[in-house]
Amino acid sequence: WNHNVEFIEQEEAWDRPAVFVEFAPIEWRADKGGYHTQGTLRLHIVTDWVGPLSQGDESLDVFDLCETVCRAVVGLSGEHFGALRLVGSDTNHNHEDIVESIEHFAYSGEWSV
């Protein structure tokens, strides 16, 4: 994520729908044997705006896509981070032709030394 939506007019075009990953700053706590954190990341799901609800159910499809993406991500874990948990959602329609849905996830991290 590099504020892609904010500068959409100045960038090369990218296909939509698109998903961008934004990692929040990570603050590590040192203790015996390693480092620990409680971190967050955001997925920016960007789709084309199809019009107001009065023009049909297609305008709600963006939320179906968000649900599909969230189902794929919730519970994801790795060697140094625990299962991702969905903790918030925002919808940003401050741009003329697109809708940006931001899904917030929390995780715990651990790194041994």
**pLDDT digits over 43-66, tens only?**
999 988 776 655 555 556 778 889
DSSP strand E in the chain: where? Answer: 18-23, 29-31, 34-48, 85-92, 98-112
Q: What is the mean pLDDT of the chain?
A: 84
Structural contact between residues 22 and 44, judged by C-beta atoms closer than 8 angstroms: yes
CA distance 14 to 36: 36
Helix (H, G, I), strand (E, B) or coil at 81: strand
pLDDT tens for each residue of the chain, 113 residues long:
556 566 666 666 778 899 999 999 999 999 888 999 999 999 999 988 776 655 555 556 778 889 999 999 999 999 999 999 999 999 876 666 788 899 999 999 998 87
The 3-state DSSP class for residue 19 equals: strand
Q: Pull the structure tokens for residue 21.
A: 């990953």
| Kind of pairing between the strands at 29-31 and 85-92 | unpaired
* Overall pTM surpassing 0.85 (yes/no): no
